[in-house]
Amino acid sequence: MNLPIDFIRATKELLGEEWGSFDSALNSSAPTSIRYNNKIEIPTSPSFEKVAWCETAFYLEERPSFTFDPLFHSGVYYVQEASSMFLEQIVKQFVKQQVVALDLCAAPGGKSTHLIDLLPQGSVLISNEINRQRAYILSENIQKWGNENCIVTNNAPADFERYQGLFDFILVDAPCSGEGMFRKDPNSIDEWSLKNVENCVFRQRDILSKIWGTLKEDGILVYSTCTYNRSENEENIQWLKDTFSAEILSVKCEPKWNIFQNEYGCRFFPHRTKGEGFFISALRKKTFEKTIKLKSLNFPKVNNNKELLKYLKKDDQFTIFSLQDILYAVPKDMDILVQNFAKNNTILHAGIEFAQQKGRDFLPQSGLALSKSIDLTQINVCDVDKEIAIRFLQKENISINSEKGFVLISYQNVPLGWVKNLGNRSNNLYPKEWRIRNKQIF
């Protein structure tokens, strides 16, 4: 690996005699790891090695073609780098009651889908991404994960400044110089320079200073990067402490995990732990913050068609909002948050993307198919084999042996999406943006 000389110098200084083993780890291949969704019972195959700090994650022996695995598309698992799953330990140690949480830099959604599983019952996650294209991918991944307690927004950090003291938990997985990804993504090596590290620090502090006010008193902020240098990590944590009197929390790690820990946070190096380079730290706000009181608004419009809710388990716990022609089923205790974010921010998704209104008819949406709250007893379901599932995901018009009308296509009994069955053929309702573009048959 052709590493920049300034990177070698700085990292040698950081690692001392460990540099040699770090350097050889960078020249070995990156492990592949996946984290399971609780949509299915998690397989306990002894041939898979577990990720020590994440209960639902495993390393795979080799990297398969995820694109041609229908279970990847139905949200049964998320392909995520193992070190970053350490977020689980922080949430388990410091978040004990239901929270309103913000994941500020969330795309493509690794940590948001993890957070949704980890946060205590009744919590709501605002999952935000500044970049529009990446925000759509985030929204897709959140919908595939299938939980309804999430709102996806596409905003800049400054757009949250109005929500002073609203959040009990904030994750800033900051845009960074990407050093920790050199092994997985060699292109990031060419983009690295000391100047770029400096620019990243400037941007990270700008993001943190814009968002700090939105954290409630006693709230937790988790800061992470996939870098090794001290400027983007320890020095930023020290800066948070000095600027906002934040308390740095000490996170418990098992010694056998071999994670490097100091007074600022936890560091992951590929020669010590099976995963990529990563830094993570947790801080508590110790200063008083007035909390904004969100008001109930008359926006978006509520659709009172109770008939629609029969497709959901626990139908009495949802409100249906209509934004443009899309209906979203939202847990009632999220109503006020949805109203405020819909008015003041750019919402891409909320709750369950349920149906599209077409005149007097409703077209079921993929978000409903993928939702953990769908009531399958109310719906025609057709379980298909792998080849048909792939053709469905390629958005081909498959023919199925089922009732006429809307049919939910599933693979290994996990829903994938909808077709409208016309008898001799069917219309494929899978979103075109989500389709498998590669036309080959696996």
| Cα–Cα distance list, 363 to 16, 370, 406, 417, 428 (Å) | 61, 15, 9, 12, 12
Q: Which is nearer to ligand SAM, 210 or 386 (CB)?
A: 210
Q: Which is nearer to ligand SAM, 200 or 429 (CB)?
A: 200
Q: Which of residues 181-240 bind ligand SAM (CB under 6 A)?
A: 203, 207
- The window from 126-134, 317-325, 351-359, 415-423 that contacts ligand SAM (CB under 6 A) reads 126-134
Q: Which is nearer to ligand SAM, 157 or 265 (CB)?
A: 157
The least distance separating ligand SAM from the CB of residue 211, rounded to whole angstroms, comes to 9
Q: Which is nearer to ligand SAM, 130 or 338 (CB)?
A: 130
Number of residues engaging ligand SAM in binding (CB under 6 A): 16
- The window from 124-132, 229-237, 307-315, 385-393 that contacts ligand SAM (CB under 6 A) reads 124-132
Please provide the DSSP assignment of 374-408 as one string.
B-GGGSEEEEE-HHHHHHHHTT-----SS-SEEEE
The least distance separating ligand SAM from the CB of residue 302, rounded to whole angstroms, comes to 32
Three-state secondary-structure class, residue 335: helix
- The window from 130-138, 188-196, 379-387, 409-417 that contacts ligand SAM (CB under 6 A) reads 130-138
* Distance separating alpha carbons of residues 288 and 268, to the nearest angstrom: 33
142 close to 112: Cβ distance less than 8 angstroms: yes
Q: Which is nearer to ligand SAM, 148 or 173 (CB)?
A: 173
Q: Which of residues 131-150 bind ligand SAM (CB under 6 A)?
A: 131, 134
87 close to 222: Cβ distance less than 8 angstroms: yes
The least distance separating ligand SAM from the CB of residue 84, rounded to whole angstroms, comes to 6
Q: Which is nearer to ligand SAM, 84 or 373 (CB)?
A: 84
Residue corresponding to tokens 């060699």: 186
Helix, strand, coil: what percent of the chain each, to 5? 35, 25, 40
The least distance separating ligand SAM from the CB of residue 101, rounded to whole angstroms, comes to 13
* Distance separating alpha carbons of residues 262 and 255, to the nearest angstrom: 13
Burial class (CB in 10 A: 0-12, 13-18, 19+), 248: middle
Binding residue (CB under 6 A) for ligand SAM from 40, 59, 175, 260: 175
69 close to 227: Cβ distance less than 8 angstroms: no
Q: How many CB atoms lie within 10 A of CB 274?
A: 18
The least distance separating ligand SAM from the CB of residue 210, rounded to whole angstroms, comes to 8
Q: Which is nearer to ligand SAM, 69 or 129 (CB)?
A: 129
Q: Which is nearer to ligand SAM, 222 or 429 (CB)?
A: 222
325 close to 333: Cβ distance less than 8 angstroms: no
165 close to 216: Cβ distance less than 8 angstroms: yes
The least distance separating ligand SAM from the CB of residue 270, rounded to whole angstroms, comes to 17
Q: Which is nearer to ligand SAM, 127 or 426 (CB)?
A: 127
Q: Which is nearer to ligand SAM, 35 or 285 (CB)?
A: 35
Work out whether 75 is an interface residue with ligand SAM (CB under 6 A). no
Three-state secondary-structure class, residue 266: strand
The least distance separating ligand SAM from the CB of residue 279, rounded to whole angstroms, comes to 12
Nearest to 54 by CA among 79, 30, 89: 89
Nearest to 430 by CA among 391, 402, 404: 391
* Distance separating alpha carbons of residues 266 and 263, to the nearest angstrom: 9
The least distance separating ligand SAM from the CB of residue 156, rounded to whole angstroms, comes to 6
Binding mask 86-115 for ligand SAM (x = CB under 6 A): -------------------xxxxxxx----
Binding residue (CB under 6 A) for ligand SAM from 129, 140, 179, 353: 129
Nearest to 208 by CA among 238, 252, 250: 238
The least distance separating ligand SAM from the CB of residue 256, rounded to whole angstroms, comes to 26
Binding residue (CB under 6 A) for ligand SAM from 70, 75, 146, 157: 157
The least distance separating ligand SAM from the CB of residue 83, rounded to whole angstroms, comes to 11
The least distance separating ligand SAM from the CB of residue 59, rounded to whole angstroms, comes to 18
Residue corresponding to tokens 């939202």: 330
- Tokens describing residue 224: 């992470």
Q: How far apart are the first and last CA of the chain?
A: 32
Kindly list the residues in this chain that would bind ligand SAM in the complex (CB under 6 A).
105-111, 129-131, 134, 157, 173, 175, 203, 207
